[in-house]
Amino acid sequence: MTKAEVVNEISERTGVEKAVVQETVESFFKVVKGSLVKGENVYFRGFGSFVVQRRAQKIARNISKNTQITIPAHNIPKFKPAKTFVEKVKKG
C-alpha cells in the first residue's frame, strides 16, 4: 500500500478532504523523523515503536581492492511492532 492509497483510505473512512489528510500524514512523518534525528524514540501503544538503534564500529572488506575499511559507529532508525500487532498479522 502506498502513501497515496493510505491517504485515500483515511479520507474515505473519515469523510475528511484528501488534502487535509495528506498534510496530516506528512506532518506525522515529519514529527517522527524529527524525533528520531534528536535521538528520541516514538511509542504507539498497540501498534509499535520507532526507535533509534546504535550500530557499533566494525571492520569491513572492500573485495574489489582487497583492503579493510572501518565503518564507524552510527545510529539507524528501526520499527519494532507491538506484540498485539504481530499476533494479529500472524493470524491473518
2-50 confidence digits (pLDDT tens): 999 999 999 999 999 999 999 999 999 999 999 999 999 999 999 999 9
pTM: 0.79
| Residues 6 or more apart in contact with residue 10 via CB below 8 angstroms | 16, 21, 25
pLDDT (average), residues 64-85: 95
Predicted confidence at residue 92, as pLDDT, reads 80
Cβ-in-10-Å burial (0-12, 13-18, 19+) of 10 comes to middle
Predicted confidence at residue 59, as pLDDT, reads 94
